[in-house]
Chain A
Amino acid sequence: MARGVAVLLGTKKGVYVFRSGAARERWRLEGPYFPGQPVYHVAFDPRDGRSLFAGVNMTWGGPRVEISRDLGKTWKPGKNPAFPTGDERRFSRTWHIEAGHAKEPDVMWVGTEPASLFKSTDRGETWEPVRALNDHPDSKKWEPGGGGLGLHSIGVDAADPKAMTIGISSGGVYETTDGGKAWTRMNYGLGSPVPVEADGDLTCVHHVVASPSVAGARFQQAHTGAYFKDMGEKKWTSVTKGLPTDYGFASAIHPRDPKTAYLFPLEFPMRMSPAATGAGVWRTRDRGKSWKKLTNGLPRGANYEVMREGLATDRLDPAGVYFGTTNGEIWGSADEGRTWALIAQHLPPILSVETATL
Chain B
Amino acid sequence: MGTVTVKLHGAFSEFAGGARSATVEATDIAGALAGLVVRYPSLAERLRDEHGKMREHVNIFANEEEMRYLDGERTALRDGDIVHIVPAVSGGEV
Contact = CB atoms under 8 A, between A and B. Distances in A.
Contact residue range for chain B? 10 to 19
Interface string A74-85: 000101101101
Contact of B51 (A58, A64, A77, A85): A85
B87 A62 contact: no
Contacts of A79: 45
A301 interface: no
A61 B49 contact: no
Contacts of A62: 45-46, 49, 55
B64 interface: no
Interface string B1-37: 0000000001110010000000000000000000000
Contacts of B11: 58, 60-61
B57 interface: yes
Contact residues on A (Cβ < 8 Å of other chain), bracket: 10 to 19
A60 B51 contact: no
Nearest to A86: B51
Contacts of A174: none
B79 to A, nearest CB: 29
B45 A64 contact: yes
Residue from the set A60, A62, A83 with the largest chain B CB neighbour count within 10 Å: A60
A91 interface: yes
A146 to B, nearest CB: 15
22 contacts: A58-B11, A59-B56, A59-B57, A60-B10, A60-B11, A60-B46, A60-B57, A61-B11, A61-B12, A61-B15, A61-B45, A61-B46, A61-B47, A62-B45, A62-B46, A62-B49, A62-B55, A64-B46, A77-B45, A82-B50, A90-B50, A90-B51
Interface of B: 10-12, 15, 42, 45-47, 49-51, 53, 55-58, 87-88
Interface of A: 58-62, 64, 77, 79-80, 82-83, 85, 90-91
Given A64-B45, A80-B45, A85-B51, 7 more contacts: A60-B11, A60-B87, A62-B46, A77-B45, A79-B45, A82-B50, A91-B49
